[in-house]
Every structure is written in structure tokens, then in C-alpha cells.
């Protein structure tokens, strides 16, 4: 009787690993199938969107409507120099500014008001906190404030939004 029990126990022991192996293989196949379906679905959706954007991009070109006019840059010379009193020490900032526009007639109309524009920018630059300007975020905030100030002046004086962006071509803090 002991001899009959021994072979059955070894057969049962071999059946358990085979069942676990089948389960592991089944899980691996299911995972590979899920990844394959995910990649295939993503590829299908992206190729569908790319085909749609190609058609949309060709539509304005066929209609003869230009996308955007080329950019025109106007350097404001001389560079702006302002001073700060930071923690009891004199500090200075020098900023070279360029105006980016797309309409040359509107930019020419704004040149008549250049003294007012330069005054606004000097007042804006001198009212800044020196410590905030030492960070990239502070410099970008100043650039955006300068852009909105120039756009406001252009809208008020010329009736058009003549300047698209104010760009800092050089900014030195000392």
C-alpha cells in the first residue's frame, strides 16, 4: 500500500508545477495581447489624425489665403538702462529690445509715438523688483508685461495691434 501511494504523490507534485506554468504562460500571452492592441489602437488613431491634419493644412493653401505674414523686427536703440537700489547697493539693468510685428504700415505708424513707447518701457523696467529679475520666470513676466504695455499703446494711438511681441535681445543685470 505504501508503494501505491508514492507514485500518486509524485504524479500530483508534477501536475501542480505544470498547472502553474500554464497559468504563467496564459498571463504572459494576455499581457502581450493587451500591449499589442494598445499599440495598434494608438497607431490607428494617430494615423487617422495625421491624415485629417494634412487635409486641413492643404485647404487654406488651395483657397489662396496666406497663413501669416512674415515677421518684421524693429530694434529700439539705444538700449534701456535703469537703476535699482537693492539692499542698500546700487544695481543696474540694461535691456536691448526688439519689436516683432507683421504689418509694416502699423509699425511705421507706431514709430511716430516712439518717445511715449520708450517712456512707458523705462517706467516699467524701473518699477521692477531686482531680486525677481534674477530668475528666468521673472524675466519672462517682465517681457510679457512689456508686450502688453506696448500693445496697449499701439491700440490707443494707432487703432491697431501693431506689435505682436516685445523681445529682449540682451538683458544684463549688475
pLDDT in the model for residue 130: 85
Beta carbons of 167 and 100 less than 8 angstroms apart: yes
- Provide the pLDDT for residue 122: 92
Question: Which architecture does CATH list for 72-173?
Answer: 2-Layer Sandwich (3.30)
pLDDT tens-place string over residues 151-174: 999 888 888 888 889 999 998 988
Rounded to whole angstroms, the Cα distance separating 96 from 168 reads: 6
Tell me the pLDDT tens digit for each residue of 95-135. 999 999 988 888 888 888 899 999 999 999 888 888 888 88
Statement: residue 89 has pLDDT above 80: yes
pLDDT digits (tens, 9 = 90+) for 19-60: 888 888 989 898 888 888 888 878 887 876 665 555 555 555
Q: Which of 128, 114, 141 is nearest to 82 (CA)?
A: 128
Classify 102 as helix, strand or coil: coil
What's residue 94's pLDDT? 92
Q: So what's the pLDDT on residue 7?
A: 53
Q: Report pLDDT for 8.
A: 55
Q: Quickly tell me which residue has 492643404 as its cell.
A: 58
**Domain extents for the chain?**
1-66, 72-173
Confidence at residue 52, expressed as pLDDT on a 0 to 100 scale: 57
The pTM for the full model equals: 0.58
Q: How far apart are CA 97 and CA 147, in angstroms?
A: 11
Distance CA 55, CA 19 (A): 54
Residue 98 has a pLDDT of: 92
Give the model's pLDDT for residue 131: 86
Amino acid at each position: 500500500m505504501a508503494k501505491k501511494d508514492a507514485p500518486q504523490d509524485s504524479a500530483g507534485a508534477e501536475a501542480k508545477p505544470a498547472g502553474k506554468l500554464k497559468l504563467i504562460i496564459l498571463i504572459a500571452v494576455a499581457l502581450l495581447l493587451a500591449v499589442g492592441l494598445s499599440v495598434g489602437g494608438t497607431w490607428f488613431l494617430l494615423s487617422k489624425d495625421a491624415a485629417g491634419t494634412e487635409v486641413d493644412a492643404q485647404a487654406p493653401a488651395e483657397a489662396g489665403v496666406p497663413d501669416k505674414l512674415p515677421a518684421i523686427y524693429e530694434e529700439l536703440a539705444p538700449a534701456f538702462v535703469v537703476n535699482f537700489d537693492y539692499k542698500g547697493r546700487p544695481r543696474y539693468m540694461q535691456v536691448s529690445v526688439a519689436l516683432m510685428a507683421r504689418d509694416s504700415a502699423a509699425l511705421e505708424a507706431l514709430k511716430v509715438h516712439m518717445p511715449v513707447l520708450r517712456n512707458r518701457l523705462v517706467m516699467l523696467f524701473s518699477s521692477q523688483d531686482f531680486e525677481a529679475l534674477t530668475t528666468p520666470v521673472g524675466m519672462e513676466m517682465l517681457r510679457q508685461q512689456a508686450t502688453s504695455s506696448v500693445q496697449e499703446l499701439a491700440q490707443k494711438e494707432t487703432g491697431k495691434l501693431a506689435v505682436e511681441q516685445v523681445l529682449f535681445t540682451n538683458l544684463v543685470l549688475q
